[in-house]
Amino acid sequence: MAGGWCSTRPPSITSGRSDAQGRIVAGGGASLSALIAPAIAAGWFLPVTPGTRHVTVGGAIASDVHGKNHHRDGTITQHVESITLLFPSGETRAVTPESDAELFWATAGGMGLTGIILEARIRLTPAPTRFITVDTYRTRNLDQTMSLMTEYDVRTRYSVSWIDLVTTGAQLGRGVLTCGDHAPLDALTPGTRDDARQWKPRPAPPVPPVFPSQVVNRLTSRLFNEAWFRKAPAERLGELMPLETFFYPLDIVDRWNRVYGPRGFVQWQCVLPFGEEARLRRIVEAFVAGPVPAALAVLKRFGAANPGPLSFPLPGWTLAVDLPAARGDTLAAFLDGLDRGVVEGGGRIYLSKDARMRPEWLDVMYPRLDEWRAVQSRVDPSGRLTSDLDRRLGITAHASARVHGHGTRTTGDAG
Ligand SMILES: Cc1cc2nc3c(=O)[nH]c(=O)nc-3n(C[C@H](O)[C@H](O)[C@H](O)COP(=O)(O)OP(=O)(O)OC[C@H]3O[C@@H](n4cnc5c(N)ncnc54)[C@H](O)[C@@H]3O)c2cc1C
């Protein structure tokens, strides 16, 4: 969606009179990557960032993205003061939580279906330098991964665990937990202090389009996971890391998705409420024994939910797993079974990552869907806003009528 409808004008940054609050005004089509250098130069950083910087402001709000700091800072929209929307009627309006709370929060995670986001004003977070102070811990198994995450979330702003979904037995769910916060100037060596606020990441070399589809298989996934685990220190405290290494490890290689070959990959991301740890363990066991190898898996803890009816996070554990796409129905049936477990545990699938979920589960996972639809119909009464995701899942009332046959919706039948 970058460009086109959305203003890509250079972001403008203001530091409040007392310098206590930085804000950025950016076009909906501006890439988060383009905001980082001016923000860091002024002593600020994005309040929430996903695991890639190559997403737009509009896309980030439409997905209501979360980062490694959800337990502390919530989602991106919780730091947005104003969203300028273009409606199907042609009207353009700035929407704030004060002027129209329903529409503002329906836009958070509304997958672009409440209007085109032309511009947003976002509060920034203080960042004295372009470095993060990082603590790394290698964990023996899932129990230790989860208990360390629980312990360290309370203390650290950012935290995330890579977990191994290939190794089984006593080491099931072993991982590498990384926690961090923005490094103060005095943590830097004198030589590094000079350019502490100049953010210039190295250009990423591209992966050539030469990989066949079977390169990511059980053997290579095992080797990759073993290498990733061994490369991590058992424990390392206070390491200074450039922010791009900490937040965006995949961006270090351009078009990394090409390693999956022409068939590509599927990402499955769920959240399960706290108290459903046994179910999370069963999901981890299912992946280890699953029909295709889990190439990459990440576990995070979410804090409180925000008022957005379609916003993904709820207090609990979120697991994101990348799998090579496979021929036939086996992978689809396997993931359908996991979706069922997620629903039974009171959790949900992240719409932003979804390309395969069955529409029957949508209103079970997102029980405030009708409330969201009422707001969506207010700004788009004739059902002009839609997308492939909407046509497949029936998110809007118009699409739902087509998906489910004029309101005859079936729920819970995803056997
Ligand atoms: C490597 C990687 C890591 C990721 N890590 C995370 C993570 O840690 N946390 C997380 O929450 N997400 C994560 N994501 C998902 C990503 O942040 C979201 O999918 C995001 O919405 C993508 O934004 P985009 O600009 O590419 O939008 P697109 O992919 O083009 O669109 C995504 C949605 O936003 C809508 N949209 C886009 N622009 C606008 C606009 N201007 N106005 C209205 N609607 C619009 C589209 O209609 C669509 O529904 C990750 C994705 C990748 C590839």
The answer to whether 152 and 275 are in contact (CB under 8 A) is no
pLDDT of residue 9: 57
Give the closest residue (by CA) to ligand 1 atom 32: 59
| CATH 3.90.420.10 fits domain 12-126 | no
Distance in Å, CA 75 to ligand 1 centroid: 13
- Residue whose C-alpha is closest to residue 74's, from 269, 369, 317, 314: 314
For the chain, residues with pLDDT lower than 50 are 1-7, 16-18, 408-415
* Pocket lining: 387 vs ligand 1, CB cutoff 6 Å: yes
* Pocket lining: 26 vs ligand 1, CB cutoff 6 Å: no
Q: Which two tokens stand for residue 52?
A: 């890639």
Pick the atom of ligand 1 nearest to 110's CA.
Answer: 49
pLDDT of residue 261: 84
Helix (H) or strand (E) holding 246: helix 243-247
Distance in Å, CA 268 to ligand 1 centroid: 15
Pick the atom of ligand 1 nearest to 115's CA.
Answer: 43
Give the closest residue (by CA) to ligand 1 atom 6: 50
pLDDT of residue 408: 46
pLDDT of residue 2: 34
pLDDT of residue 375: 98
177 burial class (0-12, 13-18, 19+ CB within 10 angstroms)?
buried
* Pocket lining: 65 vs ligand 1, CB cutoff 6 Å: yes
Pick the atom of ligand 1 nearest to 56's CA.
Answer: 25
pLDDT of residue 407: 54
Pick the atom of ligand 1 nearest to 85's CA.
Answer: 42
pLDDT of residue 387: 98
* Residue-range domain boundaries for the chain: 12-126, 131-359
* Pocket lining: 250 vs ligand 1, CB cutoff 6 Å: yes
Distance in Å, CA 353 to ligand 1 centroid: 8
Q: DSSP class of residue 153?
A: H
Distance in Å, CA 141 to ligand 1 centroid: 32
pLDDT of residue 229: 86
Q: Helix count (H) and strand count (E) of the chain?
A: 14, 15
Give the closest residue (by CA) to ligand 1 atom 8: 50
pLDDT of residue 342: 98
Give the closest residue (by CA) to ligand 1 atom 29: 59
Burial 380-412 (b: 16+ CB within 10 A, else e): beebebbeebbebbbbbbbbbeebbeeeeeeee
* Pocket lining: 43 vs ligand 1, CB cutoff 6 Å: no
Give the pLDDT confidence of 228-287 residue by residue, as tens digits: 888 899 999 999 999 999 999 988 888 888 888 888 899 999 999 999 999 999 999 999
What dotted CATH number matches 131-359?
A: 3.40.462
* Pocket lining: 116 vs ligand 1, CB cutoff 6 Å: yes
* Pocket lining: 52 vs ligand 1, CB cutoff 6 Å: yes
